[in-house]
């Protein structure tokens, strides 16, 4: 059943980086699979829509879409259908990333669609208050990403630990179950360890891995940092 | 060189119809390829993003994306990159479909990106005046689709022939070269023949083919209707 | 202090109806003021942006904007600034109406801005789950409006009483204080009474008043229905 | 008849600057009126929606809206209706400013609505190619504003004179009549003179006037610079 997953988890968002497009998306996913096997740690990848099929065929780790639209099958040119990314091999999707934000009612509708299609929902939220709002919609996972730290290499777990602990506290008031990940600025094993120590169950990372000179080594560093 | 194409051309927009998602996208593309080979008529297909790779590998006809975003490679989660759909096997893209409209400056930017990446640009326009505006941006192809006729089975070539002839006239005043296609409501060979008789070089069709009981037969009917 | 208000409250959304534009906006606001004075019941009006000043000068009842943007003063052409509608005489604003929905993070940002500017926040929500999400953001008022009933004359309080009671229950789990209004399809005193009986503190109404043949009489009917 | 206007014209976009909100919008409009009377030069002002009525009552110069929506009167909460800004006293509207861009089909629809309501259309365009596209839609005025220069104090007329001359050339190929204004970075009389010398008929200016220490003096400097 697709909506199960194991924590701690590291989800690598490939964005539209050239270092993670097409053949290079497959290559990066293979490194993630290698580290998963070597370290026994759960690593997921979120490639571009057009790469989901190829990546999902090439590796045996969790593949996520980066976004889906709040639509059912039908007359919607240029939209992203839950059923389509699922058949392509995705087991879940990012939702409401700060670079692809949704209207409130669409966040709810998309979560509903992931549920209907047996997909994992990973909803991004900017701050503790918004995380709590999202938590009431009962997604599987919330990733807290202060947009001002995205791509900076300054990890939220260090720069603003109170954002992480505040999020956990507010979220738990309304939802005792949802898994909380830490995003934005994570670029070393130390950052990952800090994020877990604050009480999260993993990280959502992009440039920290994708743009690294040695993607494999840094993936390994991340994976090792998730171990007790 | 990708930006060449042969007219008349029939482009089938798969939208997010379940009849044209995943395996069924490949199946429909295969029928289009069969008719292309049997009739010697150019047929292109525009599957969903996640199906581009599989479809492009399965068939030897033109594959289009349904949309691309006005972005260069970089930090854009959930967006559609020209470079990505190209590497996946698309030779062009629909732009500004009435179900996925763009800001004016983005229409221009996306056309510029198709040019840079050697992709064909097929810009949709609602009416003659908008078609002329688009024509000044020098895309490869303009598809005229009055949104009120989309999915109705009422072909613009019959219901509003003056829309088609008016478009051609206005477009030619500012752009003597762009190829003009006819969209919206095309559902029979007769509609296709009418569209060509009015001076267009082909059709953009969706439900007329995708939702047909016998997709192969109707594709054949379309293809035959394009012959003199 | 602007952020106080009295319940029960009837808020009339003028939308962009011609019956409530310009001089006719002032005329309707005057009827609302007359009924307020005659019945001792709180009635607020939400005219178009360009009518806020004139309406606020003409009457001594609560005036709301229909929307504000999540911006501070600055370089934002064509946007709606909290400070501007406040200086024009608004004491609050509708937020996230189903005809003007906001991204989740913007709902939060706009609520924050109303607080900063001493404006009342009236956030619209489509259903119980979304109402609960909104409630975590601590607005002053939530108006529950199933979009499928807007403008139908079918009141949510009758057609879907469980939507109203379900909303109240879910909202109270996360926010014991926020005022809850009932919207969509309210067109008679009976509907208003039903809404209050279900536990809401008033109604948000548009066509039911604005499009009524006799706006004054129906306003009076509404006002009387709010009394015990 | 509202759609007549005199060139050269200086249009001052008040944006959502605090220096041009509420009472300060009226004060700035009065300075513009004073200079208009003293210099005999046409100056228009574009205040925020909520200030249109007050400004239009206070002064006898042209008042523009900063944006209108592509809608007819009806059920559109939080939208800006052509009929509303007209009744409030606007004689025209900015359209598609780079801070409030519209879909291509909406640019066309809004221009159509200004025509229907006897309002002047001032469409903003980013570059020569987009200006030409806009010109085919036959607005009254096109204002060319490279977004990268907005608010910089670097005038397009000096930094990129070829953008201005290129725009004029491309626009004239498709529309011999439309009035062309120069925007972005205009901050001195010298910039205004340069813009006119390149062949434009006036300027669209914002921070150069609104944020000036002495708004009156700089308005006068602008006005004088428009004289032969």
From residue C184, how far is each of A26, C29, C191 by CA, in Å? 50, 20, 10
Provide mean pLDDT across the span A198-215.
Answer: 94
**Distance from the D86 Cα atom to the nearest Cα atom in chain C, whole angstroms:** 9
Q: What region does D35 belong to: left with phi over 0, alpha with psi -120 to 50, or beta?
A: alpha
CA torsion, points C120, C125, C129, C131, in degrees to nearest 10? 10
The residue that leads in pLDDT, B111 or C5, is B111
The H or E element spanning position A173 is helix A161-174
The residue that leads in pLDDT, A183 or B60, is B60
Q: Which residue has the tokens 């319940």?
A: C7
Report pLDDT for A152.
Answer: 75
Does A197 score more than 60 pLDDT? Answer: yes
**Distance from the B170 Cα atom to the nearest Cα atom in chain D, whole angstroms:** 9
Instruction: Answer yes or no: do B51 and A53 touch at CB < 8 A.
Output: yes
Report pLDDT for B1.
Answer: 38
Residue A142 half-sphere exposure toward CB, CA atoms < 13 A: 30
Instruction: Answer yes or no: do B84 and A16 touch at CB < 8 A.
Output: yes
pLDDT tens across B206-227, in order? 999 999 999 999 999 999 999 8
Q: What angle do CA B50, B21, A204 make, to 5 degrees?
A: 35
Report pLDDT for D149.
Answer: 72
Report pLDDT for A3.
Answer: 54
Report pLDDT for D169.
Answer: 93
Does C149 score more than 80 pLDDT? Answer: no
Report pLDDT for B164.
Answer: 87
Report pLDDT for D1.
Answer: 38
- Boundaries of every domain in chain C: 9-225
What is this structure's pTM? 0.95
* Catalytic one of B39, B97, B109, B190: B97
Report pLDDT for A52.
Answer: 98
Alpha-carbon distance of D184 to D186, in angstroms, equals 6
Assign A4 a pLDDT band (cuts: 50, 70, 90).
Answer: low
**Which of A50-54, C168-172, D184-188 is predicted least confidently?**
D184-188
Provide mean pLDDT across the span D154-172.
Answer: 85
From residue A223, how far is each of A34, A56, A218, C134 by CA, in Å? 11, 21, 9, 37
Among candidate residues B118, B111, B141, the one with its CA nearest the CA of residue B7:
B141
Does D162 score more than 90 pLDDT? Answer: no
Alpha-carbon distance of C126 to C58, in angstroms, equals 33
Provide mean pLDDT across the span C50-75.
Answer: 97
Percent of chain A with pLDDT strictly greater than 90 = 81
pLDDT tens across B107-140, in order? 999 999 999 999 999 999 988 999 999 999 999 9
Chains A and D touching, counted as 3 or more CB pairs less than 8 Å apart: no
Provide mean pLDDT across the span C56-65.
Answer: 97
| Among D103, D107, D132, beta carbon nearest to B136 | D132
Chains C and B touching, counted as 3 or more CB pairs less than 8 Å apart: no
Give, to the nearest 10 degrees, the angle between helix B23-39 and helix B215-225. Answer: 40
* Catalytic one of D38, D145, D148, D221: D145
Report pLDDT for C37.
Answer: 95
Percent of chain D with pLDDT strictly greater than 70 = 97
Instruction: Answer yes or no: do D48 and C97 touch at CB < 8 A.
Output: no
| Among C73, C94, C97, beta carbon nearest to D18 | C73
Burial A181-214 (b: 16+ CB within 10 A, else e): bbbbbbbbbebbbbbbebebbbbbbbbbbbbbee
Residues of D in contact with B102 (CB under 8 A): 103-104
Report pLDDT for A1.
Answer: 38
Instruction: Answer yes or no: do C85 and D50 touch at CB < 8 A.
Output: yes
Assign C4 a pLDDT band (cuts: 50, 70, 90).
Answer: low
Check if B148 is active-site. no
The per-residue DSSP string of B62-115 comes to: EEEES---S--SBS-TT---HHHHHHHT-SEEEES-TTS--BHHHHHHHHHHHH
Report pLDDT for A133.
Answer: 96
| Among D66, D77, D85, beta carbon nearest to C13 | D77
Q: Are residues B102 and D103 in contact, defined by beta-carbon separation less than 8 angstroms?
A: yes
Tokens representing D209 are 């006037």
Mean pLDDT for chain C overall: 93
Mean pLDDT for chain A overall: 93
CB neighbourhood size of C177 (10 A)? 9
Report pLDDT for C3.
Answer: 54
Provide mean pLDDT across the span D106-120.
Answer: 97
pLDDT tens across B170-218, in order? 999 999 999 999 987 888 999 999 889 989 999 999 999 999 999 999 9
Instruction: Answer yes or no: do A104 and C96 touch at CB < 8 A.
Output: yes
Report the SS3 class of residue B134: helix
Active site residues of A: 97, 145
Report pLDDT for A108.
Answer: 97
Q: Which chains touch A (3 or more CB pairs under 8 A)?
A: B, C
pLDDT tens across B67-104, in order? 999 999 999 999 999 999 999 999 999 999 999 999 99
Assign C1 a pLDDT band (cuts: 50, 70, 90).
Answer: very low
Provide mean pLDDT across the span A199-214.
Answer: 95
Does C153 score more than 80 pLDDT? Answer: no
**Which of A157-161, C89-93, D34-38 is predicted least confidently?**
A157-161
Assign B3 a pLDDT band (cuts: 50, 70, 90).
Answer: low
Find the residue in C nearest to D102 (Cα).
Answer: C78
Tokens representing A40 are 């026994």
CATH architecture entry for C9-225: Alpha-Beta Barrel (3.20)
Instruction: Answer yes or no: do A132 and C130 touch at CB < 8 A.
Output: no
Q: Are residues B211 and B19 in contact, defined by beta-carbon separation less than 8 angstroms?
A: yes
| Among A102, A136, A174, beta carbon nearest to C103 | A102
Report pLDDT for D171.
Answer: 94
Instruction: Answer yes or no: do B53 and A48 touch at CB < 8 A.
Output: no
Assign C5 a pLDDT band (cuts: 50, 70, 90).
Answer: confident
Report the SS3 class of residue D85: helix
Mean pLDDT for chain D overall: 93
Report pLDDT for D189.
Answer: 93
CB neighbourhood size of D84 (10 A)? 27
Chains C and D touching, counted as 3 or more CB pairs less than 8 Å apart: yes
């Amino acid at each position: 059943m697709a909506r199960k997953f194991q924590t701690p988890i590291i989800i690598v968002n490939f964005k539209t980086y050239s270092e993670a497009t097409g053949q290079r998306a497959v290559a990066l996913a293979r490194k993630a699979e290698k580290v998963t096997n070597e370290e026994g740690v759960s690593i997921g990848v979120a490639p571009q829509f057009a790469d989901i099929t190829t990546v999902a065929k090439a590796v045996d780790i969790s593949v996520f879409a980066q976004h889906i639209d709040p639509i059912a099958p039908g007359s919607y040119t240029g939209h992203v259908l839950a059923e389509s990314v699922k058949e392509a091999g995705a087991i879940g999707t990012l939702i409401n990333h700060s670079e692809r934000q949704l209207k409130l009612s669409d966040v709810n509708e998309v979560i509903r669609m992931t549920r209907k299609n047996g997909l994992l929902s990973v909803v991004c939220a900017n701050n503790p208050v918004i995380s709590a709002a999202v938590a009431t919609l009962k997604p599987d996972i919330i990733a807290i990403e202060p947009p001002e730290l995205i791509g900076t290499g300054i990890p939220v777990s260090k720069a603003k630990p109170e954002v992480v602990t505040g999020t956990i506290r507010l979220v738990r008031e309304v939802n005792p179950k949802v898994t909380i990940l830490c995003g934005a600025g994570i670029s070393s094993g130390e950052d990952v360890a800090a994020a877990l120590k604050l009480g999260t169950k993993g990280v959502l990372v992009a440039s920290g891995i994708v743009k690294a000179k040695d993607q494999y080594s840094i993936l390994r560093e991340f994976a090792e940092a998730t171990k007790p």
